[in-house]
Structure 1
Amino acid sequence: MNNIMQYKGYIGSVEFSEKNKVLFGKVQGIRSLISYEGTTVQELLDDFHGAVDDYLALCEAEGTEPEVAYKGSLNVRFKSPDTHRRAAIYAMTHDQTINGFIDECVVERLDALQA
């Protein structure tokens, strides 16, 4: 099951409230709260698109730059200090930065999933 939607570079979650019998979600990966809801899939999709469009229009009216989700920077926390050490040693001995090594590993894994 796919619990995300994408529109104009923004990713939105899809959730369901049994109590309220409504689909809802929010834009992921930014600090601003952009939420939406609907009682049907089409209503949810339309409200998601409208919420993103409203956010972009508000930013333009205020002369501010809209937040960009997933800019390429994140803080990685390893479960084990040994994994961190091993990754650093591998990167150094292969003339890479640790960031370059991690990026390469993630790209390889994602590419393998699409193959």
Structure 2
Amino acid sequence: MKIDGYDAVIQYDPEIDMFRGEFINLNGGADFYASDISGLHKEGKLSLDMFLKMCLEDGVSPQKQYSGKFNVRISPELHESLVLKAAASGKSINQLVVDSISNTIANGQ
């Protein structure tokens, strides 16, 4: 769900019989609850507005900054296969992984 240009992930919480929304890519936590879609939009906007106001008051950027680096743990066997595939493709391991992730995201998988 997108609210005012910010993305939120919505999940159903059976313990309280409500939907829970959580904004992602923010520099802190901002979540909200409602029992229907219109309620999610309303409560999400209230939660986001409060979060953005607090960021403004504190002088911090509301959006999370990403370094472009992350670690992935894989089995030694997969690591070996990756090295072989990269070498056979004439690519670095990093480029092979970047290409694979880009293709996966572009194809909506």
**In structure 1, what is the equivalent of residue 64 of structure 2?**
68
Contact 1:37 1:47 in 2 (8 A): yes
Task: Letter of the 2:69 partner, please give it.
Answer: S
Task: Letter of the 1:45 partner, please give it.
Answer: H
From 1, 7, 13, the equivalent of 1:11 is 7
- 1:105 matches 2:100: yes
**In structure 1, what is the equivalent of residue 30 of structure 2?**
34
Q: TM-score, normalised by structure 1?
A: 0.68
1:44 Cα deviation after fit? 0.8
- 1:84 matches 2:79: yes
CA RMSD of aligned residues (A): 2.9
Give unmatched runs, 5+ long, in structure 1: none
The sequence identity of aligned pairs, in percent, is 20
Q: TM-score, normalised by structure 2?
A: 0.71
Give unmatched runs, 5+ long, in structure 2: none
**In structure 2, what is the equivalent of residue 43 of structure 1?**
39
**In structure 1, what is the equivalent of residue 20 of structure 2?**
24
Across the two proteins, how many residue pairs are aligned to each other?
108
